[in-house]
Amino acid sequence: MTETYIEKTSGRWRGRVYTLVMLLGIGAVVACTVKEGFISPAGSTEGYFHSREIERRVDSIMRLLTLEEKIGQLCMYTSHHDITGPSTPIYTEDLIREGKVGAMFNAFTSSHNAYLQRIAVEESPHGIPILFGYDVIHGFKTIFPINLAMSCSWDTTLVEQVARVSAMEATASGVKWTFSPMCDVSRDARWGRVSEGSGEDYLLCGKMGAAMVRGYQGTDMSSDTSLVACVKHLAGYGAVQAGRDYHTVDITERTLRGVYLPAYKTALDAGAASVMTAFNEVDGCPATSSYYLMTDILRNEWGFGGLVVSDYTAIMELLHHGTATDSLSATAQAINAGVNIDMESDFYRQYLRLAVEYGYVNERQVDRMCRDVLRIKFYAGLFDNPYQNTDTIRERTAHKKDSYMQLSRRVARESCVLLENEDMALPLDPALNIAVIGPLADSRDDLLGSWRAAGDTLGVLSILDAMRERYPHITYAKGSPLMGDDTTGFARAREIATAADVVLMVCGESCQWTGEAASVTDISLPSIQNELLQVVRGVNRNVVMILLNGRPLELTSVVPYTCAILEAWFPGSNGARGVVDIISGEYNPSGRLTMSFPRRVGQVPIHYDMKNTGRPYTPDNPQQKYLSRYLFTPNSPLFPFGYGLSYTTYEYSDVNVEKEHYLTGEPIRITARVKNTGKIAGVETAQLYVRDVVGSVTRPVRELKSWQKVYLEPGEEQIIVFSLTEKDLSFYRADMTWGIETGKYDVWVGGDSNASEGDYFYIKD
């Protein structure tokens, strides 16, 4: 028999769970407490979720559970606080009482989660606590810029701070698990979920993902401010064909391993405790049923010891993929692949016992999957204190603190990218008469972007509000809707533009146009906004545009009608003030693009680290036809990866590799001189690119290998030093072994992926 109780001391739950076990007539008391700190590893994930003491405690619980109770730990259902997809009607509370719910998501208040946790701990057969998850993507209550924007800061320390604040706020409202970071490499701006990741380069995506993991989880996962991280979506979700969400991914093993897997691995090496499967297929097999991805690579090759959760109803969707004949088959495929938790499909609860009875699934596999879930609950401190995140007093004071809002402002201004600034149109003098025009100028909601968790517009300023705080001479006209054909606002826009010294236009996308299930075929400004721009430019040549959007846009038709463009993305709760910090010159813009902006949508997917081809196009031969080129459009993007302007200028020189020849395994030292040649101080992001000139397989024309942010006063110069290791230069060779090859390597250091200052070196045996 078992009995579970919670100690109560001085009117407050102490949260210590004890299970009294009667085995073979011998009474034994197993104290299921844990206070071991979780320390994120520096290297491989192997073994870091497998302490001897935790395994003993997991054993003590596994002995008690029936097959159905083990299955219950593998089931996850949504609360009706927030629905992110088609919901299965479930009598969730009854299932919790029966011990058939291991995790829940979209429940995010301390009182509600305490209520559900109390049912689990006090009324279910063994009192096993629930793990509560939520999509905390770029903030919980205090919303920060979208993830794509944050990556444009190129500042992993800053991103880690954002994740730490997100964890502080979310855990105060009962949440212990976030489905973040998204480490999908994204090269097609039509895909709505580019907003949720860190762009087109796997090195930068991985570094940003690792920073978020560290920020979410901290150094002790049992802490009441630690949020369990979930790396997603394994694997290759960013490569969906035609940029259409949930679509097919068809890539080679070399591309999978060389481009898409490294970012996930980097984030997992930072200590992430969970992984989410991708909706898409890889090589004809849906990721959610891929033994190759979830077991061969993730667990066996990478040594991952955490848990794997399906995406929303992804196990059910195996039926639609056409690889499962029925629900029983889909269930067996997913758990045999290594998916621990069934999110919302309800297939494990309904069919997993039958799958075991019919011999489709070995019960030992159910045991393995259940142990993983229990193990993470121990590391998360839930057996020590299941009510650790249900303090209503803490919740009332945890959100939107002044320091958090100031961080939101700082991140916003460091994430903005100045794309154009003809004749130093920016910053704007406060004495100017400024006409603020555009469908997004007075929007508050859109500033938060998609996936804003529990964020709201309370205390959020629009761009117009923030401009009025700083500038005394403001007039405003909406001008047009975001989309449609209503031109009635043109007249007022024309009127105030005519009378103004400068026009500040705020255009772009609705926050609903990016994120999940928000793919598009046209990434240009809607025609009504383009028409408004032309009307305004017809009466005032001084047009500055602020863009609010969640993906790279096609701006070829916009640039001729503007003298400055500031890419502000969706900047978050205090983002408007951050944007105006740049407009006013209080902050010198330092953001650099992490996704290329195409000239035309027909160029996508587009990325800087392309292959050379056998007939490479160079601008030196514009008339030669039989090259890898477009007839009427250059191959190059309008704004390349790594690009961004400043209110000052920088000059690179003296790029120098320490010596010409290196032995395999020998560290390579590269130096470069960067100078602020302008009149104000600024922060430059110096980027190091490398090309393996000849390989056993074709290699990219250049790859980002490192970067440094450098603060320079006017006229100041610094020598920056980069060091490359054998690992930095390794790749999957012709025989699919991982390693370095001998030969010549070109290097460049500069302010974007078109850097021209360079040197070279040779690797020899």
Can you tell me the distance from the alpha carbon of 717 to that of 674, in angstroms, rounded to the nearest whole number?
A: 5
Element (H, E) at 119: helix 110-123
Nearest to 342 by CA among 280, 289, 268: 289
- Give the three-class secondary structure for 390: coil
Tell me if 372 sits within 8 A of 45, measured CB to CB. Answer: no
Say how many C-beta atoms besides its own lie within 10 A of residue 445's C-beta.
15
**Is the CB of residue 54 less than 8 Å from the CB of residue 379?**
yes
Q: How far, in Å, CA of 230 to CA of 210, rounded?
A: 11
- Measured distance CA(749)–CA(498) in Å, rounded: 45
Strand arrangement, sheet containing 717-724: 650-657, 668-676, 717-724
Among residues 155, 184, 188, 311, which one is catalytic?
Answer: 311
CA-wise closest residue to 658 among 640, 642, 675, 670 = 670
Answer yes or no: are the C-beta atoms of 58 and 374 closer than 8 Å. Answer: yes
Specify whether 752 is catalytic.
no
- Tell me the CA distances in angstroms from 703 to 296, 612, 662, 687, one per residue in order: 28, 13, 20, 10
User: Is cis: bond before 427, omega within 30 of 0?
Assistant: yes
Cis peptide bond prior to 661, omega within 30° of 0: no
Residues 6 or more apart in contact with residue 357 via CB below 8 angstroms: none
Quote the CA–CA distance of 16 and 84 in Å, as a whole number: 34
- Between CA 171 and CA 105, with CA 226 as vertex, the angle to 5 degrees is 50
- CA 375/CA 233 separation, integer angstroms: 22
Report the distance separating Cα 353 and Cα 542, nearest Å: 69
Active site residues: 311
